[in-house]
Structure 1
Amino acid sequence: MKWTPVSCLCLLALGGCQAMPSSLPSADPPPAESCYFPSDDPATLTASVDVLTEWGFSLDASDTQLGLLTASREKTLHGYSDLYAEPRLRPRTGFHVFGGLGSGGGAGLGVGVGLGGGFSQPPVEVERVSLLWDRQHMRVSRDIRRFDQYGSLREGRSASSDGFCQQLQRALSAQTATGDRTP
């Protein structure tokens, strides 16, 4: 291929489209102030595991040397398959259990029977909580992500809200005050 000044100019123009972002992404909305609180009890991480497990989270990762704990829980979103479906694939009227019966947008009536589940899964919401303890303070970070029936990320947001962090703070205080710790 012969390089002409026009093709070089086009290449430079396309290279400008690949510029680095001017700023790093930030949490939106920002974490609440109550997500950073004093905590100097050595049993804080153990109590955190206990509290999050009681709330239905499963432990994903932990490092006691760093004071890091990550846990998550997953919830099936019933009824979200139609929300995340392509508009042209959504049924207009009708019902379906193991097949389908419905009427289309024009003239006609169709009856279909489908056997087998296909390759899709139900849409899910994954809530992840990360705790960082520096032996004096606890920092809480929480996010919620929603995945469609094909496993693609559809929504994601920071969820480090004041209500969640205060509830966690109270539960940790109660857990460490009673001395109810598992070794």
Structure 2
Amino acid sequence: MESLSANESMPLISYLTNFLTSQHVPTPIVKSTRMHQNDSSLCPNPALYHQLVCRILYLTNTCPNITFAIQQLTQFMANPILNHYKAINGVLRYIKGIPGQGLFYSTTPSIHIKGYTDSDWVTCPDTKRSISGFFMYLGSSLVSWKSKKQNTVSRSSSEAEYRALAIASCEVQWLTYLLG
């Protein structure tokens, strides 16, 4: 990603300073919110939306609790609408309320791999594809996580869960090879 000149970054800086007085929210995205492309009003500033999502995307490396929300918002980089713009504001307000939170890496020598996986059947109203996610722990430390739209449409919630389990199994196998 190219760096911004001083003139290009000023709208972003002034936009972010407005969040200093805003109230924080308890979750990065409301669960009932279904992100999709529709014919509602366009985002007032698509360039600002793009800058915000690109910058927040880097936070998913140390803040896995925003991974799903950012995965949802990155799908609409080309043509964001007003609802996507409001959602990115919600993520910013959530981040404002969690300063200092991040990943904890324990010093205990546990080499036990533990994983959790889930999927949400037919989550995307545009493509009817499911979203899978997993978290992998090494002992009590989170070492790997992912939230991704599945490549194909699942015919049932069981099929979506099996696809999520297959993705998580590949991750466990990779972690096992890495540790071996």
Question: Is the TM-score greater than 0.5?
Answer: no
TM-score when scaled to structure 2?
0.25
Higher-Rg member (1/2): 1
**Structure with more of its chain in helix, by fraction:** 2
